[in-house]
Amino acid sequence: MIQASAYLNSQLRDLSVHSEYERRLRVLIEHCRRNLPSVDEERIRRAFQVAYWAHRDDRRASGELYISHPLEVALIAARDIRFDDTTVIAALLHDTVEDTDLSLGLIESEFGAEVANITDGVTKIDQVFSTRALGRAENVRKLMLSMASDIRVILVKFADRLHNMRTLDSLPHEKQLKIAADTLDLFAPLAHRFGLHEVKSELEDLSLKYLESDAYKAIADGLKAKRRQRERFVEGFINPIRRELDEAGFEFEIYGRPKSIYSIFRKMRKQEKELDEIYDLFAIRVILHSEGKKGREDCWRVYSILTDLYQPLPERFRDFISVAKSNGYQSLHTTVIGSEGKPVEIQIRTAEMHEIAERGVAAHWKYKDEMGGPSGDGAPVVDTSGRDARVDAMYEWVRDLLENPRANDADEFVKEFQLNLYDEEIYVFTPRGDLMTLPRGATPVDFAFQIHTQVGFNCIGAKVNNKMVPLSYVLTSGDQVEVLTSKKQSPNPDWMKFVVTHKARSRIRHWINEKRRNAVDAGRETLERKMRRAKVEIDEQLINRASSRLKFPTSQQLFYEIGAGLYDADEFVRFIKRGAEKEAEEEAASADSTARLEIEQFAADAQEIGKTALIIDGEKHTDMAVKYAPCCNPIPGDDVFGYISKTGSIKIHRVTCKNAPNLLLDHAERIIPVEWSRQKDVHFVAALRIVGEDRVGIVSDITTVISKSLKTNIRSITVESEDGLFEGTLVIFVSDLKQLRRIIQRLARLDGIYGVYRFEE
């Protein structure tokens, strides 16, 4: 490792920088001057020189000099995130410790402890996500720990991931899928939670570009084709608004902004509609140049003017100014009917609100000149006055998720982490009128734990709007909630069925686990005492085999049921004395024989399913066990990947399969590239969901089109009808995606058919 600053100085004196990168450095510094509260240009230049020299022999997968990456990451930090110059410097240096000979000690001596800590934090995140040695939950915890130490670590990582996504074309396809799935599953929702709207939207769009390339291209092309028509509509819509606001004396900006491709894609999927059927492809944004109380009042005045001009839809009105979102977002949202009868969304906010909406938590955080939190551990000191109290709430969110993360709760931890990223919010009140924010679907038990853990533990009932309600009652915005408690009450395991907040779930689960551990210890002690009295040797292997023979999933479950009084320890001792070991061995031999037969049958079945239609890892294979995953039913033409199972067989999944993100993220080492060959006369199972009018002869029309007109074999068809509508599932044999799309288009033209969609189990 290079640690001698004198040696570094001698190298930098003779450093020759390409003119293109000198120009890009000037652009970076100009953005720093424009967007940051203060700029130490010399430190930024020094950081660039160190990074340029450290990466002098490195190139990216695209072939360009590696320095282009840290320069672009720093530019995103300066132009889009706009936090401080320390973040920009750390962005320039973020890959030097991991990829070059520079040591962390040298970074600290040259640029200070803050830059070194941020660089170290980003390096640790990169190491965790570049190797799959650790489990997914551990990856998430490492990410959270980095946030808890210094928020700028995750800000630099957002910038790093965004530039990597922008340059993903140069990587192999399987790496593109893995990185895109990782981004959509974790980094985009995390950016949303931190209020970085622009970063979040671009991460989502770029992820969709690789995970759903056909859908992405179709939406992008559709938006481009109607761009001029949309611009004419927007201009005609905002001209009357502009005149009214000018006459009222407002200083403002107004413009139309297209919605992100990913948000349109989600809406199409959710509503099961085509692009032409989605009307709200853009939103009108009004930004007022007034501040404080006057700014909030002006937002309402503008809302009044707008609703005088256009008919509002009351059910689509949202007031995020009086009650801001948990990430600090404030704005008035309304939807009005435009001149052509189309609904148009309008957002009204001040310039200050707009900055928070775009930059989120980065706009809230304020660091003092000297870092070093209460414990002296380098944590940021936060100005908690006014709106920056939200910073404490963000810290509390991170600490709460990290609290007591037990290894055996790894999957639950990840699920709750993701739930807390994208949750919709409701606003409820205590009996004293204090406001509390909870995720949609929250219950009085969630409310109780939000007040205090002990209140949650002792909760026996609740009143909502002065009426008694069940503890499973789902709260709505505006409810006033009163919790009834008793010191004799303790958590009920059934609460886990309806609580939604991480705090409630983690505290209840911790209590249940603690109670279970006590029962396990008591059960083990009771069993060992009974075995000693019966003069039976206390042998762990014997206990394990006997508990398995009695259908206990583990010996721990046996101990628990004994300790909880659900199973008699004497009965277990008698079972052992009757020779359970011999019986277990005989059954094990039989089970092994059955398992071998099942494995052989599985391999035979898999090889029968058109495996010659695939090119696996660049080659055709006829001796591999191949199975097409029933969770997504891939067919030729689908974008697919292969997953090597523990038995050595290969399961083929669609990239859009609901299980794809978990496989790509958790088992990257088992993923192999798969392509379709030009194999003929191989047929695959595909399923369609058909919705339409329940009329006489509709099923006959469907089967006629499939069997006679399109010469396609039907495997099965099921139909259910209710209130004049029918919904059917059609399973057919097709040769490829092109044939399936032709079938969908033909069925969609039948009289009374409302929609035909590809169906996944």
Residue 114 has pLDDT above 80, yes or no: yes
Calculated CA dihedral for residues 687, 693, 696, 699, nearest 10 degrees: -10
Q: pLDDT value at position 514? A: 86
Q: Is 64 helix (H, G, I), strand (E, B) or coil?
A: coil
Q: pLDDT value at position 678? A: 64
Q: Which residues lie across from 482 on neighbouring strands?
A: 463
pLDDT digits (tens, 9 = 90+) for 4-62: 466 667 667 667 778 888 899 999 999 999 988 889 999 999 999 999 888 888 888 88
Residue 378 has pLDDT above 60, yes or no: no
| 532 falls within a domain | yes
Contact assessment for residue 307 and residue 337, using Cβ atoms and an 8 Å cutoff: no
Residue 66 vs residues 51, 76, 534: alpha-carbon distances, Å = 9, 16, 73
Please check whether residues 206 and 95 belong to one and the same domain: yes
Q: pLDDT value at position 610? A: 45
In Å, how far from its chain's centre is CA 533?
55
Burial of residue 729 (CB within 10 Å: 0-12, 13-18, 19+) is middle
Among the listed residues 98, 280, 319, 675, the single catalytic one is 98
| CATH number of domain containing 89 | 1.10.3210.10
Which residue segment(s) compose the domain that 720 sits in?
684-758
Residue 440 has pLDDT above 50, yes or no: yes
Largest Cα span, the chain = 98
Q: What contacts 761, CB < 8 A, 6 or more positions away?
A: 630, 631, 632, 633, 687
Catalytic, 434? Answer no
Q: Give the whole-angstrom CA distance, residue 337 versus residue 346.
A: 11
Burial of residue 514 (CB within 10 Å: 0-12, 13-18, 19+) is exposed
Tokens matching residue 486: 């008793």
Tokens 């047929």 sit on residue: 683
Give Rg (Cα) of the chain: 31
Q: pLDDT value at position 44? A: 93
Which of 49, 201, 47, 211 is closest to 639 using CA atoms? 211
Q: pLDDT value at position 681? A: 62
Calculated CA dihedral for residues 420, 489, 464, 391, nearest 10 degrees: -30
Q: pLDDT value at position 582? A: 57
Residue 251 has pLDDT above 50, yes or no: yes
Q: Is 317 helix (H, G, I), strand (E, B) or coil?
A: coil
Residue 732 has pLDDT above 80, yes or no: yes
| 605 falls within a domain | no
Please check whether residues 206 and 224 belong to one and the same domain: no
Please check whether residues 225 and 178 belong to one and the same domain: no
| 180 falls within a domain | yes
Q: pLDDT value at position 373? A: 36
| 326 falls within a domain | yes
Please check whether residues 320 and 264 belong to one and the same domain: yes
State the CB neighbour count (10 A cutoff) for residue 573.
Answer: 16
More confident residue, 591 or 466: 466
Contact assessment for residue 474 and residue 443, using Cβ atoms and an 8 Å cutoff: yes
Q: b or e along 597-631 (b: 16 or more beta carbons within 10 Å of the residue's beta carbon)?
A: eeeeeebeebbeebbebbbbeeeeeeebbbbbbee
Q: What contacts 664, CB < 8 A, 6 or more positions away?
A: 177, 178, 181, 182, 641, 671
SS3 content of the chain, % helix, strand, coil (to 5): 55, 15, 30
Please check whether residues 91 and 240 belong to one and the same domain: no
Please check whether residues 694 and 556 belong to one and the same domain: no
Q: What contacts 200, CB < 8 A, 6 or more positions away?
A: 188, 189, 191, 192
Q: b or e along 740-759 (b: 16 or more beta carbons within 10 Å of the residue's beta carbon)?
A: beebbeebeebeebeebebe
Q: Give the whole-angstrom CA distance, residue 91 versus residue 87.
A: 6
| 546 falls within a domain | yes
Read off the amino acid at residue 122: V
| Axis crossing angle, helix 19-35 with helix 41-54, rounded to the nearest 10 | 140
Please check whether residues 21 and 168 belong to one and the same domain: yes
Residue 130 has pLDDT above 60, yes or no: no
Q: b or e along 409-421 (b: 16 or more beta carbons within 10 Å of the residue's beta carbon)?
A: bbebbbebbebbb
Q: pLDDT value at position 35? A: 87
Q: pLDDT value at position 26? A: 93
Q: What is the DSSP letter of 551?
A: T
Q: Give the whole-angstrom CA distance, residue 496 versus residue 271.
A: 31
Please check whether residues 106 and 77 belong to one and the same domain: yes
Beta strand residue intervals within 665-752, DSSP E: 671-676, 684-693, 714-722, 725-734
Among the listed residues 14, 20, 80, 99, the single catalytic one is 99
Q: For 169-196, what is the mean pLDDT?
A: 85
Contact assessment for residue 644 and residue 650, using Cβ atoms and an 8 Å cutoff: yes
Q: What is the DSSP letter of 373?
A: -
pLDDT digits (tens, 9 = 90+) for 59-103: 888 888 899 999 999 999 999 888 889 999 999 998 888 877 788
Helix (H) or strand (E) holding 174: helix 173-182
Q: How many CA atoms lie within 13 A of 124 on its CB side?
A: 20
Q: pLDDT value at position 205? A: 94
Write down which residue in 520, 553, 578 finishes a domain: 578
Which of 267, 209, 194 is closest to 422 using CA atoms? 194
Q: pLDDT value at position 74? A: 95
pLDDT digits (tens, 9 = 90+) for 596-642: 443 344 334 434 444 445 666 556 655 667 888 877 888 888 888 88
Of the segments 387-401, 506-520, 711-725, which one has the largest average pLDDT value? 506-520
* Total domains present in the chain: 4
Which of 312, 437, 380 is closest to 87 using CA atoms? 380
Residue 453 has pLDDT above 80, yes or no: yes
pLDDT digits (tens, 9 = 90+) for 688-729: 888 888 777 888 888 888 887 777 888 888 887 776 677 888
704 phi/psi in degrees, rounded to 5: -65, -45
Please check whether residues 289 and 317 belong to one and the same domain: yes
Write down which residue in 308, 336, 362 finishes a domain: 362
| CATH number of domain containing 245 | 3.30.460.10
Please check whether residues 202 and 224 belong to one and the same domain: no
Q: pLDDT value at position 248? A: 93
Q: Give the whole-angstrom CA distance, residue 150 versus residue 217.
A: 38
| 358 falls within a domain | yes
| 445 falls within a domain | no
Read off the amino acid at residue 266: R
Please check whether residues 98 and 154 belong to one and the same domain: yes
Q: pLDDT value at position 417? A: 58
Q: What contacts 212, CB < 8 A, 6 or more positions away?
A: 265, 655, 656
Mean pLDDT of the chain: 79
Residue 651 vs residues 167, 168, 213, 606, 609: alpha-carbon distances, Å = 30, 26, 22, 9, 11
Please check whether residues 530 and 560 belong to one and the same domain: yes
Catalytic, 340? Answer no
| CATH number of domain containing 738 | 3.30.70.260
Write down which residue in 578, 604, 636 finishes a domain: 578
| 518 falls within a domain | yes
